[in-house]
Structure 1
Amino acid sequence: MTSIDQPAVDLVVPVKPLTKAKSRLRGAADGGIGAPRAHARLAMALLRDTITAVEAASAVRRLLVVSSDPVVAAELGVFGIEVAPDGPVPGLNPAYARGAALLRAQDQAAAVGALQADLPALRPEELDEAVVAALALFARGARRAFVADAEGTGTTLLIAAPGVDLDPRFGVASAQRHEEAGARPLTGAWPGLRRDVDTADDLRAATALGLGGHTTAALAPVPRSC
């Protein structure tokens, strides 16, 4: 990650309990069986590959994961990744808002961003380019900027300028809702940044782009014992 004197953003990544996350991917890690342990391993792998890219990005200053799953906190804590529990209000957008508030409490002048946790094909340079593009828009007066997903309907990254509320509106048709709220769309190609993974088709598309090592390992066939 970047030093504090470089243009940068502080990012929050929320994570559901692993057993409940990515329900439409259940069975993808174990040939359709859908065993809870295999599914949780895949959800964690998607997160780890996302975080690996974030940590290698030069335009990210600080990363905060928001999750009340003790497995997430324990596994990420081993690698020195900061994890905060969810607040009293459940849901994805409250988790983003809580994370942004915690980041801003450390630095009121920070640009803050909301990143999805399921970007296994994300490349650090894509994230860097998107952050730099957002900061350039902020320098010209924009207040928020976002990256739409590969389908153009969802959002994978939302960034708020220093001093501006994040105002996350993730969910169905979030790209339209973010734009209607004044966020500016970022137009770079960035295939890995746009390729979130909710379904088996999404996972195949991400595989074609090149998965990170954690997701690749989670999808590897488990040898049967004799």
Structure 2
Amino acid sequence: MDLVVPVKPLTKAKSRLRGAADGGIGEPRAHARLAMALLRDTIDAVRAAPSVRHLLVVSSDPVVAAELGVFGIDVAPDGPVAGLNPAYDRGAALLRERDPAAVVGALQADLPALRPDELGEAIEAALGLFAAGARRAFVADAEGTGTTFLLAAPGVALDPLFGAGSARRHERSGAHPLLGEWPGLHRDVDTAADLREAAALGLGEHTSCALALIPGC
């Protein structure tokens, strides 16, 4: 399957986490470093999941493009319409241009406790549903109200409906909920409380370094 991850400009991303990386000061570079660390840990898990064939990041932030490009990760700029769902749509369209028959997935960029096996199990569960005739599937967040992962079967539009209350919107639009013990996949990070819960699960190395404020880590 092919996967798209959208990323806001680092200076604007994760605004409710501002100050989490530097004891509440909210220094812009420390905040940007934390936002990038969340992304890097998410991407590391994606790249280690054997079920993912191709990863595309959608972002117009030059720092994101430069840092990820070093690791051979494809980064496409945002399209003319701003916003999270248009970024997912753009990424899915680009992936389908490569392979119209691909299963396409949309993953949030703030899953620092994600494990490759969790992602792989969720993908396999979705593939099983698609084989039985389902067209779209999703994973809800830890609260059960948002969405961390959305997948579309071959030839089916992704139709992302991310945002507050997205789990219900995705289900009402016909997407099937995927139920599994995947704590890292469920735990996206928007607030300091979310970050503490992710830390209890076990953060990836990049987020751990960003929170420890270790130079060059």
Aligning the two structures, in what range does the TM-score lie when normalised by the shorter sequence?
A: over 0.9
- Identity fraction in percent: 81
For 1:55, the equivalent position in structure 2 comes to: 47
1:134-183 Cα shifts (integer Å, max 9, x gaps) = 00000000000000000000000000000000000000100000000000
- 1:60 is paired with a residue of what secondary structure? coil
Say whether residues 1:217 and 2:209 are aligned partners.
Answer: yes
For 2:192, the equivalent position in structure 1 comes to: 200
- 1:157 is paired with a residue of what secondary structure? strand
> Within 5 A, what are the aligned runs for 1:120-135?
120-135=112-127
Say whether residues 1:178 and 2:136 are aligned partners.
Answer: no
Q: Which residue, out of 93, 97, 104, partners 1:112?
A: 104
For 1:44, the equivalent position in structure 2 comes to: 36
Say whether residues 1:102 and 2:91 are aligned partners.
Answer: no
- 1:34 is paired with a residue of what secondary structure? coil
Q: Which residue, out of 72, 81, 84, partners 2:73?
A: 81
Say whether residues 1:155 and 2:147 are aligned partners.
Answer: yes
Q: Offset of 1:189 from its aligned partner?
A: 1.2
For 2:133, the equivalent position in structure 1 comes to: 141
In structure 2, C-alpha distance between the alignment counterparts of 1:218 and 1:176, rounded to whole Å: 34
Q: Which residue, out of 5, 8, 14, partners 1:22?
A: 14
Report the aligned-residue RMSD. 0.8
In structure 2, C-alpha distance between the alignment counterparts of 1:112 and 1:221, rounded to whole Å: 36
- 2:53 is paired with a residue of what secondary structure? strand
- 1:33 is paired with a residue of what secondary structure? coil
In structure 1, C-alpha distance between the alignment counterparts of 2:26 and 2:98, rounded to whole Å: 41
For 2:25, the equivalent position in structure 1 comes to: 33
In structure 2, C-alpha distance between the alignment counterparts of 1:148 and 1:189, rounded to whole Å: 12
Q: Which residue, out of 122, 134, 157, partners 1:165?
A: 157
TM norm structure 1: 0.94
Q: Offset of 1:103 from its aligned partner?
A: 0.1
In structure 2, C-alpha distance between the alignment counterparts of 1:208 and 1:202, rounded to whole Å: 10
Q: Offset of 1:53 from its aligned partner?
A: 0.2
In structure 1, C-alpha distance between the alignment counterparts of 2:136 and 2:50, rounded to whole Å: 20
In structure 2, C-alpha distance between the alignment counterparts of 1:179 and 1:10, rounded to whole Å: 22
For 1:91, the equivalent position in structure 2 comes to: 83
User: Structure 2 regions of 5+ residues with no counterpart?
Assistant: none
Q: Offset of 1:222 from its aligned partner?
A: 5.2
For 1:4, the equivalent position in structure 2 comes to: none
In structure 1, C-alpha distance between the alignment counterparts of 2:141 and 2:200, rounded to whole Å: 16
Which portions of structure 1, spanning 4 or more consecutive aligned residues, are displaced by more than 2 angstroms? none
Q: Offset of 1:221 from its aligned partner?
A: 4.0
TM norm structure 2: 0.98
For 1:3, the equivalent position in structure 2 comes to: none
In structure 2, C-alpha distance between the alignment counterparts of 1:177 and 1:111, rounded to whole Å: 21
